[in-house]
Chains A and B, each alone.
Chain A
Amino acid sequence: GAVVSQHPSRVICKSGTSVKIECRSLDFQATTMFWYRQFPKKSLMLMATSNEGSKATYEQGVEKDKFLINHASLTLSTLTVTSAHPEDSSFYICSAWTPTDTQYFGPGTRLTVL
């Protein structure tokens, strides 16, 4: 069964709105979660590392004020895409390390900004 969940699985929004994506670890605690983005036919790109109780670590070129990450509990990290624009349309995926030292991915959220 799934060990990492994401919600929503798909979202369509108007340009300028904000969208929140949730990532949950199921049945285990994750002090660290990762957020990726994947454009069609491209590789996964790490956006940021989400750390429970502290600030996220963003990869170079990722705007922290645009992609807000909150890791308020040991099982939940959220990514908020603020003032979304069509170029933010992408497949957003989170992941977490499980206690068995493997990293599992959530099912992803497909964002379409009109």
Chain B
Amino acid sequence: RKEVEQDPGPFNVPEGATVAFNCTYSNSASQSFFWYRQDCRKEPKLLMSVYSSGNEDGRFTAQLNRASQYISLLIRDSKLSDSATYLCVVNPGTGYSTLTFGKGTMLLVSP
């Protein structure tokens, strides 16, 4: 089983659609979780951290289920500018350890 697995993409959705990304991780001792977005030919940028209680930032909602080792990202009312690759990222340890990345899921939002 891969350490961090994401939905294979790409996801093609129209503007205004709601889209959900799923991610599972294999290391049950993982400590912290993140969603990054990466635009073409750019570096990954932190979108949001993911907490057990769930967290929301505008149109974006992230949830973590530690029992199922599952992370999700929901984007509501998608915009053209949301088109990017979304990376599920896990910190397998405590402190400043090496992150484990999923392969990413590409989102294409069309007019």
Question: What is A's interface to B at a CB cutoff of 8 Å?
Answer: 31-32, 34, 43-44, 46, 49, 91, 93, 95, 97, 101-108, 110
Contacts and interface: CB of A to CB of B under 8 A. Distances in A.
Secondary structure at the A interface, as helix, strand, loop or mixed, is strand
Contacts of A34: 98-99
A18 B105 CA distance: 35
Chain B interface category by residue count: 10 to 19
B51 to A, nearest CB: 12
Contact of B101 (A44, A49, A110): A44
Contact of A44 (B44, B45, B46, B96): B44
Contacts of B98: 34, 46, 49
Contacts of A107: 42-43
28 contacts: A32-B96, A34-B98, A43-B101, A43-B103, A43-B104, A44-B44, A44-B87, A44-B101, A46-B98, A49-B98, A91-B41, A93-B43, A93-B44, A95-B99, A97-B96, A101-B32, A102-B34, A102-B49, A103-B34, A103-B46, A103-B96, A103-B99, A104-B46, A105-B43, A105-B45, A106-B43, A108-B42, A108-B43
A89 to B, nearest CB: 13
